Structures are given as C-alpha cells and as structure tokens.
Amino acid sequence: MTLLRLLPAMGTHVGMRRRHNEDSIGYRYPDDVEILQESGALFVIADGVGGLSAGERASSMAVERLIKHYYAADNEIPPDQRLAIAFQQVNHDVYKLLNDPGKPAATTMVAVVVLENQLIAASVGDSQIFLIRNDDIQQLNQVDVLRDGSAEDGALTKAIGYREILDVDTISGSLEPDDVLILCSDGLTRYLNNQQLVRLARLRDPRDSVRRMINETNQKGGADNVSVAIIRIGTELEATDVRKHVQKLVVPVAVDSQPVMTPNVDTKPNTSIPLSRPEPVVPETFPVTENLVADPKPQPIKIPRDTDKFVPPSETGRNYVVLIAVAVLVLGAVLFFSALFFLRQPQDPVPTATIEGIVEETEQLTPTADLSTATLDDATITVGDAVTVAGSIPTLVRVGESVGSFVTIPDTPYIIQEIFEGSEGQLWYRLLDEESNQTGWIAASDVTPAD
C-alpha cells in the first residue's frame, strides 16, 4: 500500500439566519508515520439536530470524542470496525452525558479516514460525503431521512445520541491521485448542486474551495449553519517527508465571522427519529460492511492525552472580531474629531523668507578674488579642485530659471555669466563651460582668479 499526499481544508459558518452555530468540524492528520500507516488521517463534520436541546454541545462532543476513540482503539482491529465502534462509543457518550429527562440532545455526523490509498467512511444522519473523480461526482453515503409521504416525511431516522443503541454502516474503497473528497452538512447541499460542487472543488487551493462554497451558500440564503471539508488526494508521499508535509499544512479556513443577521429560522423544528428506517443504498464501488450493533452498556476505554490537531467549534473568534471592530471605530472617531478641532483653530501665518533673509542665515563665504565689479564679457576663473557645480544656489531660487550642473576640471578657465552677492558680501558665480555649453552655480570659496 502507498501513502498519498493529502491537501485538506475545512471550515464552518453560522450562516445568515441562525444565531448559533451548531455545526462542529475536526480532524487529525498524524505527522507520525507509524500512526499514519496504522490508522490514517481522520476528518469529521457533525451537525447538531435542530429542535432538540444542546445541539451545539452534542456536535462538539461528538467530533472531539470520535477522534479520541478512533485513535485510542486497538490497532489489531480492522480500521473500518474501529471507526464503527468509535461511532458507537460517541453515541453512548452523548446519550449518557447530554440527554436530560425530556430534553434529548443529538447530532448527525460523517467521518472519512484516508488510510494510505484506501478510503473508510461512516455516516449517521443527513450530512453527506461525495467523491469527485475525473469531474464525475458521486455521493458515497445514504442519508438517514424518512421519505414515505407520511406526516413524518423528511424526519431523521438516525442520529448520534438520540437512542442508546446505534448501528453504523461503513463504506470502503480505493483512492487515486487527483480524487477529491467532500464532507458537508446539509446547510451546503440545499443551495449548491452537484455541478457547482465539482466546479468549486476544483479550485487550485482547497482552502479557496471551502471559502467559495460557504460564501455562495450564504449569498443564496444561508438559512442553516454550513460546514464543509475538502480533502484533495495528491501524489505518492515518501515516509521521510510525512512530518514536514503535515506540519506545514493550514487546514482550518477562516471565513467571515459575523454575517448580517436576519430573523432566526429553525430549519429542523421538532425533529423526530421514528423507529422505521429506509434501507441504505450505497454505490457498488464502495460496498457497505456488515452492520455492527453496539453493546447496550459499552465499557469505557482509557484515552491517552491527544496532542494532535483538533478544531473545536467556538464563538470566541467571532467575539474578538466584534470587539476589535468596535475599538477601531471608536479610535477612528477620536482621530476624526481631533483633526476637525485642530483645523478650526487659527493658524499662524507661514513665514515668507526673502532672499536677503536666507542669505543672512547661510554660512559666510570669503571670495578668493573681488570680481563683483568685473566686466562679464571676458571674465574667467579657474577652479582648484574638481567641484560639483550646482543647478541652483541654496540661497537663491528664481522661478523659471533652468540651469544644469557639472563637475569642474581643475585649473580649467570658465566664463562667468553672472555674479550674485549676498547681503553679507558672500559671492556666487554662474559659470559656463564652453566645451559642453553647461552652466551652473559655484561658491566663490571654491574658485581662484584666472591668470
């Protein structure tokens, strides 16, 4: 068997018409090669049953405990049976811990294990699992929903935690590079059809696929919580590259944390789970294993501390975003009114410096020769060193004047075109280089009279 590179992404959103998110998502993609080869990578989505109490707690507990139970199981048991037994243990936990008298709590749940190049999946409720191969999409699980035209038509026939005994169907099959797996709650598929799922699942980055699916669902109405996981199957992965590959992944996807709220709508009011249950219909390429019936009183197992990745549902992130947004608005208002107050205050006029004033503040220059009265027709000077001739005088800027700048050649005579004397007697010369026809200003201290 061959390890395949997985590119997973998953996200959840409260939707546009619900006040609380009763969906939960979680995963474990071990970076330990031995664990990965024995148990694979596990991805889970749970949807708390609307109309019952503690739906959010039920889905959160189901996701967390399924991951723990599955990886704590005896590795000698085949992985499909381990997954089924873990579902049964989760059902027992939710039933015993969350169901108060007269206040049942339940959740749907779908889970997929990718073990080397094999798929193992299990499903309880109306959440769904899809496989995309060569742009063909196939639903792998049969939802547990009653369709008989009776008054109970559309009701769930199974859910985690609703009854003490739970039978679980598992699905198995092989995977190929470029396959795409989709797990989702029914909040997604009520708005997106199979063709849309294929189109969005084929985006280059699976995180973009998750975001787009959730956003399009919300744009179309978003009447329920929505959760989706995408696992893209890649090429062969060497055992030595597992740790590096897993540790660089960012699986949870950030989506808009607080949508526009519209009146709350119960999408699954008064959910009932009748005794009758339709026969499962599963594609032939993914045969159903034999049903496993849970022990009415399963013995608890010792669960080691799990340090791997788990994504619990929480509204803490949404609260932080709201607080940050409020703080930004308050700070913006303070800055705006402070600026407005400042602009209304009388401002001191901006001082206008005269040429004489600027000259007085500059360093006094001692000319090497008195050329202030020289005739400019033939007056020339030489420069002792290579000096950069400026395009303008720091103390004299005349509108419309355009002169260049150049580096003088030592002991070369230059024609004086103009002499400027400051109020303290400092001199500036505008020189002309006859060979290049360039002009520029130079301080008198940098020149010597021509012979």
Q: Is the pLDDT of residue 228 over 70?
A: yes
pTM of the predicted structure, to 2 decimals: 0.61
Q: What pLDDT, on a 0 to 100 scale, did the predictor assign at position 390?
A: 62
Contacts of 209 (CB under 8 A, 6+ apart): 9, 200, 201, 202, 203, 230
Is there a contact between 25 and 10 (Cβ–Cβ < 8 Å)? Answer: yes
How is domain 4-313 classified at the CATH fold level?
Phosphatase 2c; domain 1 (3.60.40)
Q: What pLDDT, on a 0 to 100 scale, did the predictor assign at position 189?
A: 95
Q: Is the pLDDT of residue 99 over 90?
A: no
Q: What pLDDT, on a 0 to 100 scale, did the predictor assign at position 188?
A: 96
Of 91-95, 174-178, 197-201, 263-267, the range with the lowest mean pLDDT is 263-267
Of 47-56, 283-292, 342-351, 372-381, the range with the lowest mean pLDDT is 283-292
Model confidence band, residue 183 (pLDDT cutoffs 50, 70, 90)? very high
Q: How far apart are CA 257 and CA 321, in angstroms?
A: 7
Q: Is the pLDDT of residue 91 over 90?
A: yes
Q: How far apart are CA 46 and CA 311, in angstroms?
A: 12
Which amino acid is present at 219?
Q
Q: What is the mean pLDDT of residues 72-86?
A: 96
Q: How far apart are CA 256 and CA 149, in angstroms?
A: 39
Of 98-107, 325-334, 440-449, the range with the lowest mean pLDDT is 440-449
Mapping DSSP onto H, E and C, the string for 188-229 reads HHCCCCHHHHHHHHCCCCHHHHHHHHHHHHHHCCCCCCEEEE
Q: What is the mean pLDDT of residues 87-103?
A: 90
Q: What pLDDT, on a 0 to 100 scale, did the predictor assign at position 283?
A: 44
Model confidence band, residue 12 (pLDDT cutoffs 50, 70, 90)? very high
CA dihedral 30, 32, 33, 34 (to 10 degrees): -100
Q: What is the mean pLDDT of residues 358-386?
A: 47
Q: What pLDDT, on a 0 to 100 scale, did the predictor assign at position 348?
A: 46
Is there a contact between 298 and 79 (Cβ–Cβ < 8 Å)? Answer: no
Q: Which residue has the higher pLDDT, 162 or 200?
A: 200
Contacts of 378 (CB under 8 A, 6+ apart): 415
List 292's β-bridge partners, or say none.
Answer: 168
Q: Domain map of the chain by residue range? A: 4-313, 355-449
Which of these, 322, 312, 267, lies nearest to 18 by C-alpha position? Answer: 267
Residues 245-275 pLDDT 10s: 999 999 999 886 555 444 454 444 444 554 4
Residues 282-336 pLDDT 10s: 444 444 444 444 444 333 323 233 334 444 444 455 566 667 777 778 787 777 7
Of 79-83, 337-341, 352-356, the range with the lowest mean pLDDT is 352-356
Both tokens assigned to 172:
């198995």
